[in-house]
Amino acid sequence: MTGKDEKARRKEILHSLRNEGRQKTRDGFPIPVLALKGLFDFLDLQLSESVCDDTLRFTRDYVRSNGMNESQIVEWLEGHGGYCDCEALNNVEEIVADAVPDYQRIRDESGSAH
């Protein structure tokens, strides 16, 4: 195998591993990505008007008002570095955005209560 072929093969392996990791992340989402996007958009709005109080207050409000499984979502957020609203927005949304192609283009069309 030539050096060029080997380099291309390695690149393909890395690409495949990266895609598998992204799929594994998506498979672990506690709610559909559109609902996660709605949550993060809600947090962005709330935190632009208020200071984070080091709790998941706004997250819990959103989850409850949309009839979602609060304990499951909170556990998942905390497992990904989201122990308060600002960490959920800054840390966890970044993980979701990396795992979902064209995440930034997703619009919240779910009709969720904001």
Residues 93-109: pLDDT tens digits? 999 999 999 898 887 54
81: in domain: yes
Range of the domain at 22: 3-105
d(CA 64, CA 48): 21
Helix axes 57-65, 70-79, angle to 10 degrees: 140
90: in domain: yes
Q: Give the total number of structural domains in the chain.
A: 1
What is this structure's pTM? 0.81
Neighbours of 62 (CB within 10 A): 25
Q: Spell out, as residue ranges, where the chain has pLDDT lower than 50.
A: 109-114
